[in-house]
Amino acid sequence: MNSRTVVITGGTRGIGFGMAADFLRRGHRVCITGRSQASVDQALQRLVARAPQASVVIGVACDAGSLTEVQNAWDQTIAAFGRVDIWINNAGVANPVYDFEQLTSADYQNVVNTNLIGVMNGCKVALLGMREQGHGQIYNFEGFGSDGRVTPGLSVYGATKRAVTYFTDALIKENAAKLVNVGFLSPGIVITDMIMQEADEMGPERWARTKRMYNILGDHVETVTAWLVDATLADYGKHGSRIAWLTPRKAAGRFFAAFVLRRKRNLFAELSA
């Protein structure tokens, strides 16, 4: 397999960090971005420790909501590696799990700027750069709300993810006959620090119900990211793909195992072990 150069926004933690580590283990070049230089530096140290045989990895401090900073991430990757083969718009934040009127304007503006404007900025920079170099693949992350599901407390986060799905569908149509391929990454429910934050915000009763569902349908980061990376590499050169870990069939199997076979999973106990 040809060695690829991959940019992952929001690659300092969670799914983005896990994918960065898995790309590196497979011998690819990676640029991760994070909001602060400190978070980037810490993530780079951890990546080198996890993937000592890694090819090359760099990190760039970048606010996804700033087009100028996103362009700088592209420019630094080109300076380091000469090209960008895969651009993954992963950077995302969640609003506090409260009813909308309880959120501050800073709360919801931050979510929109990162989850939606950040994806648009990443796509604009990558589309123009990849057309100039003659090839490339862009993936946008779906999340809760992408399929139209609604839950109280996630109004803003869900709205941004639903908007990202529409936006990506539009880009797929716009680029059908062009040099750049566009697709989706859909990780399902992954137990990250974003989800752990919900426990404090939901209250014990609501968190108990949510936790039960996460234990049925969820997975740890390393389980999902290894699969996503392999699937992404295999998908290179294809347009309009949706790479989905938690398919309807897999979800049905999880429910069958939980309620018919009485198989219990405790992802949170494993996380703290």
In order of 6, 135, 235, the CA distances from 76 in angstroms are 12, 18, 25
**What span, in angstroms and rounded, lies between the C-alpha atoms of 219 and 102?**
31
Among this protein's residues, is 157 annotated catalytic? yes
pLDDT band at 204 (very low <50, low <70, confident <90, very high): confident
Domain residue extents for the chain: 5-194+220-247
Q: Which residue has the tokens 């087009």?
A: 67
Nearest to 97 by CA among 55, 29, 156, 141: 156
pLDDT digits (tens, 9 = 90+) for 36-88: 999 999 999 999 988 776 669 999 999 999 999 999 999 999 999 999 999 99
Per-residue model confidence (pLDDT) at position 206? 84
Catalytic residue among 108, 157, 214, 236: 157
When pLDDT is cut at 50, 70 and 90, the band that residue 222 belongs to is very high
**Domain range 5-194+220-247, CATH architecture:** 3-Layer(aba) Sandwich (3.40)
Region 14-43: what's the mean pLDDT? Answer: 97
- For the full predicted model, state whether its pTM sits above 0.75: yes
